Amino acid sequence: MKRGYEVKFIQSAKNEKVKQWKKLRTKKERDKTGLFLVEGEHLVYEAKEADAIVEVIVTEQYYPKLAKSRFSDDQIFMIASSLEKQLSETETPQGIFAVCKQEMDQEVKGTRFLLLDAVQDPGNVGTMIRTADAAGFDAVVLGHGSVDPYNSKVLRAAQGSHFHLPIIRGHLNEWIDRLKEMNISVYGTALQNAVSMYEAKLDSKFALLVGNEGQGVSEELLQKTTQNLYIPIFGKSESLNVSVAAGIFMYYLRGK
Amino acid sequence: MKRGYEVKFIQSAKNEKVKQWKKLRTKKERDKTGLFLVEGEHLVYEAKEADAIVEVIVTEQYYPKLAKSRFSDDQIFMIASSLEKQLSETETPQGIFAVCKQEMDQEVKGTRFLLLDAVQDPGNVGTMIRTADAAGFDAVVLGHGSVDPYNSKVLRAAQGSHFHLPIIRGHLNEWIDRLKEMNISVYGTALQNAVSMYEAKLDSKFALLVGNEGQGVSEELLQKTTQNLYIPIFGKSESLNVSVAAGIFMYYLRGK
Statement: residue A256 has pLDDT above 70: no
DSSP secondary-structure letter at B75?
G
What average pLDDT does range A174-201 have in this prediction? 95
Residue A23 has pLDDT above 90, yes or no: yes
Q: What is the nearest CA distance from B200 to chain A, expressed in angstroms?
A: 12
Q: Of the residues A45, A76, A101, which one is the last residue of a structural domain? A: A101
Flag whether A15 is in a domain.
Answer: yes
- The reply to whether B3 falls in a domain is no
A134 and A94 part of one domain? no
Q: Are residues B162 and B196 in the same domain?
A: yes
Note the pLDDT of residue B103. Answer: 82
**CATH number of the structural domain spanning residue B145:** 3.40.1280.10
Residue in A123, A130, A238 nearest the CB of B237: A130
Confidence of residue A16 (pLDDT cuts 50, 70, 90): very high
Same domain as B237, residue B125:
yes
What phi, psi does B171 have (nearest 5°)?
Answer: -90, 115
Query: Judging by beta carbons within 10 Å of its beta carbon (0-12, 13-18, 19+), is residue B2 exposed, middle or buried?
Result: exposed
Of the partner residues A130, A198, A238, the one whose CB lies closest to the CB of residue B241: A130
Same domain, A41 and A148: no
Give the tens place of pLDDT for each residue, A43-61.
999 999 999 999 999 999 9
pLDDT at B1 > cutoff 50: no
Gap from A6 CA to chain B (nearest CA, Å): 35
- Mean of the per-residue pLDDT values for chain A? 94
Q: Identify whether A3 is part of a domain.
A: no
User: What is the ipTM, given to two decimal places?
Assistant: 0.91
pLDDT bracket for residue B106 (50, 70, 90): low
Q: Which residues pair with A116 in a beta bridge?
A: A142, A210
Q: Are residues B97 and B116 in the same domain?
A: no
pLDDT at A247 over 60: yes
Find the CATH number of the domain harbouring B79: 3.30.1330.30
Average pLDDT of A70-86?
93
Does residue A107 lie within any of the structural domains?
Answer: no
Count of structural domains, chain B? 2
pLDDT at site B192? 86
Decide if pLDDT at A3 tops 60. no
Higher pLDDT, B213 or B101: B101
Residues A229 and A147 grouped into a single domain = yes
Which pLDDT score is estimated for A1? 41
Query: At which of A101, A123, A144 does a domain end?
Result: A101
Interface residues from chain A to B (CB-CB < 8 Å): 123, 127, 130-137, 157, 159-161, 164-165, 198, 231, 233-241, 243-245, 247-248, 251-252, 254, 256
Residues A196 and A243 in one domain: yes
CA-CA distance, B227 to B14, in Å (whole number)?
Answer: 55
Q: Which residues of B touch A (CB under 8 A)?
A: 123, 127, 130-137, 157, 159-161, 164-165, 198, 231, 233-241, 243-245, 247-248, 251-252, 254, 256
- pLDDT for res B107: 74
DSSP string, A116-145: EES---HHHHHHHHHHHHHTT-SEEEE-TT
Same domain, B186 and B211: yes
More confident site: B229 or A70? B229
CB B146 within 8 A of CB B242: no
CB atoms within 10 A of CB B224: 14
- Co-location of B179 and B79 in the same domain: no
B209 and B126 together in one domain: yes
The single-letter code of the amino acid at A64 is P
A132/B235 CB distance under 8 A: yes
Quote the pLDDT of residue A168: 94
User: Whole domain around residue A168: which residue ranges?
Assistant: 112-254
